[in-house]
A and B are shown apart, each in its own frame.
Chain A
């Protein structure tokens, strides 16, 4: 187990959440599931940390929340991107890609 899983870098979780919400409003559970499925369990994210991140981002105005009805007709809290969040996503994605490219280039030269 250890060594094969990546520890999540600070701020990366935010980026993943922003990316998740780009398709449209989601509740917390859906975000968690989507990240889990997409990363195929490569990233182990505690859902508690995920919710903490969601609420922090709401406070910072990156996303906003609203209560609505879920697919199975239950009351759920939906998050969606704000304009500010969308801008952040663009900016951070670019930074992240450049960073990842640089790191992997260094690693490949060994």
Chain B
């Protein structure tokens, strides 16, 4: 360097050996100089050496020390250089963005949409399928237990089990160290004006030892407080409810809280975020025996009490394997336990299918409810949609890669100059990648914001029963977004960067603008074809789901759900005799019929998609009616069929003449009529209900089939009795509203609340909300497939446009020549259009091929929709061709307007 007496002759060697060598060199020089000087002063060599070493001190120790210091220094320098190079690359990237902000914005938005779609879907899938309940200890060893039986050769899975079954498992199984029973349900909470229907979680005390939680306040309930027949009425509040309802006051302990029919003493508060096994945080956790003794015990008419009967199934059962016990061993143990339990059940219910045929066995499943042996279609659709979001991101990446590629071509000279100036290719590659990763990370931020706002709306509409932590605060979703962003940045940056760096310097420097574009446009066209074909796949999926949703919403239910409300009394401990209960319902009916917003009202005892009732039937000439299917019961007042909108096909409905004392009347469904009397008219037939000793009920009419438990194939075996001939004192009333039922629900409920005695509470539910749960998976599929398919189409359209537009600018010269040689504007338009359409058609063929193959897997998720529906395919073809035509028509017009003389003059 300039101010030293030395020249740079030796390259720095940063290896360990190199460092050691350098230290040795330095010390050797020192000793040589030392010796020379001492000998020059007249010392003999031996003495000189000794003196030099004495002056130096500990030679080997110093040498080791020096090399250690140098190694530290080199390591430190290397790290600093790495960071400063990165900072420089990022600065370079930022500069690039500032120079072309529109380009940057396009990339960030494109990737943001792709990443946002993924983050949203990941949030949903993670919540439903991946994440164990918060605070759960050893989640890998905790399982939800199912009981499987074989009925008619088909496996039947039960996840809703009996308290007695829980006791059997807790008592007889040996593989588990904790067995938990859990039940959450909407329950009436509070008193007077404060009364709400809220979710209450109930369980045994194992809950508190399976989760790693401590009470924020007070204590949790104990085993001693959870003993059948009736547990202690104590409640542990959730932190959220404690905060919202009680203002987080510490003196809530010991105060009373009304849940269902009883007052519970508040004994503690669970920590923030604890939801037990529920997806939505309950307001309180109570001993299962305390709730069941109020809510379940009255429903049991059998000889055995609720905790000892196999008749009432309502619980979920979870268990934790002992350490060292494999899942397989636990399953075997559970099967042994359940077989023993099944034999005990046969004692109570001699009529059940014998154990040799039912083959009961246990299933030890993942703790997440959505991963049971028969997952609902919601989670399945969600997983599909995560895949679809991945495809959208791929399409977005292809677009960004296309943009970067186009820009890399524009920057060929700049890059070539840098290479010529001695910037290493590796460094250059890093720089270009840093730029695309930077863009992608910004896209990740945009994606997180999209997931935050767009996702919140989506989740609230489509999966309202699940409680969502917001995305911004959700570390797992953020991490996922960051990783996806990083991957996307590398993915879409790599090809363009490699291209740019590999370009031949001399070539790029001397060649004109148009050189070398042909080869690269092959890659760009390939990307566009891939985009088009992926969009086709998504659009086909969207079409199939939209058609499914269409079919599911127009399916004939046999009643007009949109205008129907179900209002029923929750007695909450108010005791009425059967006459009182009957009178209460008659009063409710009268009051409802007097309301201006009500068109008509009728009494009923069961509700479609809510709860059903079946009893034994006896028909002359038929050995066992039960063998022909499950016949479900409805008991109604005369206004029922007009209120529901269920048509009477033959005979008459239940009428005012069917009063107490008159011969019992029955209306049967069409399917029931055909099943019981395939060759005769059902009218006038005698059916004995519940026992073969009771008087006949005579069939007076046939009603159309209704969908009662499934929107798909519902057996529809359903019959109606006249409620006033039985005085059941049960059920509630159906209300047909003039406007949408949704809007009238609360006012009708409040009006009927005035008829309620004491603390009793009138509950109202719209029928469509009951059915919505059934429709949700198609709704989810249709909405999200359509959104993602639309995005994919938009991205593919923009991608096609940019490729064609770029090609047109590159070929300005050629177009000029063509025009000069006599080509008309229409010829040029046709030329460019043809190019775009060729891409679209290839994409269509490939995409349709993929969709046809994938049809097999998506078929089970559709509703009565053929997965190869030609209508859907036709629609997709039209849409894609239209978009492709539009995308290439714009640049085609520009090409046609090229002024030949100007184009020719530029070169």
Contact = CB atoms under 8 A, between A and B. Distances in A.
B65 A52 contact: yes
A69 B55 contact: no
Given A28-B26, A77-B26, A48 B59 contact: yes
Contacts of A59: 69-70, 72-73, 76
A55 B65 CA distance: 9
B58 A69 contact: no
Contact of A46 (B3, B30, B56): B56
A70 interface: yes
B26 A69 contact: no
Contacts of A55: 65-66, 69-70, 73
Contacts of B72: 59
A67 B59 contact: no
B727 interface: no
B66 A77 contact: no
A58 B73 contact: yes
Of the listed residues B9, B10, B26, B73, the one surrounded by the most CB atoms of chain A closer than 10 A to its CB is: B26
A13 interface: no
A46 B65 CA distance: 14
A56 interface: yes
Nearest to B69: A55
B5 A29 contact: no
B27 interface: yes
B296 to A, nearest CB: 76
A46 B10 CA distance: 29
Contact of B58 (A25, A28, A29, A48): A48
Contact of A25 (B6, B27, B30, B61): B6
A43 interface: no
B62 A28 contact: no
Interface residues of A, number: 28
Contacts of A51: 26-27, 30, 62, 66
Contacts of A69: 5-7, 9
B8 interface: yes
Interface in A15-51: 24-25, 27-29, 32-33, 46-49, 51
Contacts of B677: none
A5 interface: no
Interface in B2-41: 3-10, 22, 25-27, 29-30, 32-34, 37
A51 B33 CA distance: 15
A58 to B, nearest CB: 6
Contacts of B66: 51-52, 55
Interface string A87-99: 0000000000000
A56 B10 CA distance: 22
A67 B65 contact: no
B62 A66 contact: no
Interface string B484-500: 00000000000000000
Contacts of B33: 29, 70
A76 B29 contact: yes
A68 B6 CA distance: 4
A13 to B, nearest CB: 13
A76 B58 CA distance: 21
A52 B29 contact: no
B29 A78 contact: no
Interface string B39-74: 000000000000000011111011001100110110
Contacts of B56: 46-48
B73 A67 contact: no
A8 to B, nearest CB: 13
B57 A48 contact: yes
A105 interface: no
A29 B59 contact: no
A67 B10 contact: yes
Contacts of A46: 55-57
* Main SS at interface, chain B: helix
A67 B4 CA distance: 11
Contacts of A33: 37
Contacts of B76: 59
A29 B29 contact: yes
A75 B69 contact: no
Contacts of B59: 48
Contacts, number: 94
A40 to B, nearest CB: 15
Contacts of A74: 29, 32
Contacts of A28: 26, 29-30
B62 A68 contact: no
B22 A25 contact: no
Of the listed residues B25, B29, B72, the one surrounded by the most CB atoms of chain A closer than 10 A to its CB is: B29
Contacts of B61: 48
Contact of B25 (A32, A66, A77): A77
Contact of A80 (B4, B37, B58): B4
A13 B664 CA distance: 116
Contacts of B27: 51
Nearest to A55: B69
Given A75-B29, A77-B29, A47 B4 contact: no
A51 B22 CA distance: 13
A37 B386 CA distance: 79
A49 B55 CA distance: 10
A69 B30 CA distance: 13
A49 to B, nearest CB: 7
A58 B66 CA distance: 11
B673 to A, nearest CB: 97
A68 B66 CA distance: 19
B61 to A, nearest CB: 7
A67 to B, nearest CB: 5
A46 B58 CA distance: 9
A75 B22 CA distance: 10
Nearest to B33: A29
A13 B58 CA distance: 18
A48 B55 CA distance: 8
A52 B62 contact: yes
Interface string B61-96: 110011001101100100000000000000000000
B29 A68 contact: no
B57 A75 contact: no
Nearest to A69: B6
A24 B9 CA distance: 19
Contacts of B70: 55, 58-59
Contact of A75 (B25, B30, B34, B55): B25
Contact of A56 (B5, B37, B69): B69
B62 A78 contact: no
Contact of B29 (A25, A56, A66, A70): A70
Nearest to B8: A66
B353 to A, nearest CB: 83
B391 to A, nearest CB: 52
A87 B111 CA distance: 49
B84 to A, nearest CB: 14
A106 B196 CA distance: 87
Contacts of B7: 68-69
B4 A66 contact: yes
B57 A47 contact: yes
A15 to B, nearest CB: 19
Contact of B30 (A29, A49, A67): A29
A66 B6 CA distance: 9
Contacts of B1: 66
Which are the 7 A-B pairs with shortest beta-carbon distances?
Answer: A68-B6, A48-B57, A48-B62, A46-B57, A59-B73, A47-B56, A55-B69
12 contacts: A25-B5, A28-B30, A33-B37, A47-B56, A51-B30, A56-B69, A58-B70, A59-B70, A59-B73, A70-B29, A77-B22, A78-B4
Given A27-B26, A51-B66, A59-B76, 20 more contacts: A25-B4, A27-B29, A28-B29, A28-B30, A29-B29, A46-B56, A47-B56, A49-B57, A52-B65, A52-B69, A55-B65, A59-B69, A59-B72, A59-B73, A66-B6, A67-B10, A68-B8, A68-B9, A74-B32, A78-B6
Interface of A: 24-25, 27-29, 32-33, 46-49, 51-52, 55-56, 58-59, 66-70, 74-78, 80
